[in-house]
Structure 1
């Protein structure tokens, strides 16, 4: 299976944190009120 690494558009991010809460791998974190992919190696692309 090929992993699909997500892309986060910080311009469109409203800072709600839903994506960080939904990421079971802990790859997404909130930084200065915006979502950021912190660990690409943790991302399984499944959401």
Structure 2
């Protein structure tokens, strides 16, 4: 019972972390693209 709970909790943590990191990378990509459209590419 405890092992199943631990595994489920670990899986949830990993899913949340990967979702957060993928969200952050998407956000960074979007910001970079927007800056590039404004001609500010390379000023980061």
TM-score by length of 1: 0.27
Greater share of strand: 1
Greater share of helix: 2
Q: Which has the larger radius of gyration?
A: 2
TM-score by length of 2: 0.28
